[in-house]
Amino acid sequence: MDSPKSLKKALDGDAEILSICVFGASGDLAKKKVYPAIFALFYEGHLPEDFVVFGYARSDMTTETFVDKIRSSLPRRVSSKVDCSEYVEKFLAKCFYQAGQYDDPDDFKTLATAISEKEAGKSAMRIFYLSIPPSIFVPVAQNAARHVSSLSGETRVIVEKPFGRDLDSSRELTNALAEDLKESQTYRIDHYLGKELVENITVLRFSNIIFSPLWSRTHIRNVQITFSENFGTEGRGGYFDNYGIIRDVVQNHLLQVMALFAMEEPASLDAEDIRDEKVKVIKSIRPIDMANVVLGQYKKSGDETKPGYLDDETVPPGSRCATFAAMALFVDNARWDGVPFLIKAGKALHKREAEVRIQFHHAPGNLYKKQLGATSDMNSNELIIRIQPDEAIYLRLNSKIPGLGMRLDQTDLDLQYKAKFGAGELPDAYERLILDVVQGDKRLFIRNDELEAAWKLFTPVLNQIENDNINPELYPYGSRGPIGAHYLASRYNVRWGDTYN
């Protein structure tokens, strides 16, 4: 975190007070992500002086008990030299709790009364954060909109993914929310879009003229977007099994990164202009062929110290749920015709990593073929955007090894964010996105037609996987994933990018 700044009025519009209500306040997401993000905004001076934070959940507890529960999730120090305990207590003094059922309108009316008492007649912006299971999105959003909406200012609702399981369920959710909320009030949050390096993709593309002529099929031979975790479901298999890796990561996080990477330059930085271009890209993606899809499920590690997916007691016996997916996508437009976008995501792999890797065409001719060595990839330039961990951007170039002979090797021009900007300068994705909601900036949120286009792309292949009972290829916990992913890449004369240190 930065050092504390003087508090300033940050509200969008004429509101005098900001009221945030976190539904599902007793859950892990609220405790580990939402409340720490709101506190960080308070500490850094990005919230108005006058604000309150209400937690709402079914758990029967007092405000004092609730505050004690979330106190442990807030940082006491922001560095070895800066103690922020005073700010923690100031923040907690603005936090309140209201117990209630999610389907009882009277409980929501009681919540509205409690919030109004804290607002003391001031014009208020109210933000509702739905940190709840998708099965209760609709009743909570509708009850909140009908009975807790601000009568003197704007109301905005943040909805966490997943936004349905397929096209039909997504449409049902969208239509249900639209009964009581305008599209302008609905903020579909994909926390991946709030990550520093994801937001930097458009800056890298459109503010550096050196990349403009290179960003097309003429110079780029493939793009790899990878997401890997070095841990399994760890007791959350019951939830994960209902969605699988494609719904959990690929259809949302990685598709959004791909759209930002491949879109045309928007007319402006206005949210609607950016989202217009993203929708065009998604609609241009060729229907997914199962021949270009590899599914995997992790089993016990080779030394049997790590459990397999089916060893998770919360996973149904014999589940075919994929914990790994790799696929080749193609954007059928003039810029990207024929360029494979290789997407890979998986759990229980050998490392935790997320990156975008752009491999350029080989330098024409054979001038340095002998000096570059035997592998054909050696003379390919690469631009890598490391999203997590250890955020970085680096460009891989061929250069001469110092000495009397003519030997070539690859060198990285390296921008490591922690080294350049300091470890404390990268805000959490939730912090960025909640601030955007306060300020009414929707650039990093998903529009309804964007969601529709994404589900139209993935629903047919998801249906085929389930209808045909396709068995995933097993891979050991801690490995690089199923062998089929390497065969898929080799089909397009591509090798998955190597490790960057």
Task: Please identify every residue annotated as catalytic.
Answer: 253
Specify the DSSP class assigned to residue 54: E
Token code pair at residue 40: 């960080």
Q: DSSP labels for 12-33?
A: SSS-SEEEEEEETTTSHHIIII
Token code pair at residue 105: 């309108």
Token code pair at residue 383: 């631009």
HEC per residue, 326-364: EEEECECCCCCCCCCEEEEEECCECCCEEEEEEEEEECC
d(CA 165, CA 72): 34
d(CA 345, CA 370): 36
Q: Which residue has the tokens 């437009």?
A: 333
d(CA 184, CA 421): 35
In the chain, the amino acid numbered 44 is E
d(CA 68, CA 385): 40
Q: DSSP labels for 384-437?
A: EEEEESS-EEEEEEEEEPSSSS--EEEEEEEEEHHHHH-GGG---HHHHHHHHH
Which of 91, 223, 195 has the alpha carbon at shortest distance from 428? Answer: 195
Which of 499, 238, 480 has the alpha carbon at shortest distance from 347? Answer: 480
The torsion defined by the Cα of 325, 327, 331 and 332, in degrees rounded to 10, comes to: -140
